[in-house]
Amino acid sequence: MIRLVFYKFILMIVVVLSLSCSKKADYDFIITNGTDYTINSFVIGSGNDRIDVTIMPNDTSEIVTYEFDGTFFNFTEPLLTLAVKQYFDSIKQYDYNKGGGTSIPDLKEDSENKVTIKLDKESSVSNILFELEIN
C-alpha cells in the first residue's frame, strides 16, 4: 500500500514536470514617452525582478534589459508586467498603477521591444490616462 502511494506521488511529480517549461531570456526595451508628463516610474516586471525607468516628457529611454528567468506551466502563458506606476505634471506627482501583462512569447529576443506611452484619448473610464503600444 505504501509503495502504491509512493509510485502515485512520483507519477504526479513526473506529470507536473512534463507540463512545465523553463525559459531564460534577455529582453531589451526602449520606452518612448509620447506625453507631456514626466513618467517617474515605468515598471517592467514585478516583485524583486522589477525594473523602474524614469522617462522625461516626449523623450525616449536608453535600452533597458529585462532578464526573464522563469518557469511556467505549458497550459498557462507567461506574462510580463508593463505599467506606468507614477507620473508627474509640473505641479504634482500622481500614483497611477495602470498597465497590464504582456505575453512573453510575443516579445522579441533578438531585437529591441519598443514601448510607446500615449495619452488614451478614447477611454470612457475617467482614471485611465495612458495607453501602451508594444512593438
> So what's the pLDDT on residue 86?
94
Cβ pair 31, 117 in contact under 8 A: yes
Report strand pairing: 113-119 vs 59-60: unpaired
> So what's the pLDDT on residue 27?
93
> So what's the pLDDT on residue 46?
82
> So what's the pLDDT on residue 69?
79
> So what's the pLDDT on residue 118?
94
d(CA 128, CA 122): 10
pTM: 0.77
- pLDDT tens-place string over residues 93-116: 988 877 788 988 889 988 999 999
Q: Residue 4 above 80 pLDDT?
A: no
Higher pLDDT, 3 or 100: 100
Higher pLDDT, 30 or 124: 30
Residue 88 CB coordination number (10 Å): 16
> So what's the pLDDT on residue 37?
94
Q: Which residues, in sequence order, are CB contacts of 78 under 8 Å at separation 6+?
A: 23, 68, 70, 72, 103, 104, 105
- pLDDT tens-place string over residues 25-79: 899 999 999 999 999 999 999 878 899 999 999 999 999 999 987 766 555 678 8
* Three-state secondary structure call for residue 8: helix
Q: Sign (positive/negative) of CA torsion 88, 36, 118, 70? A: negative
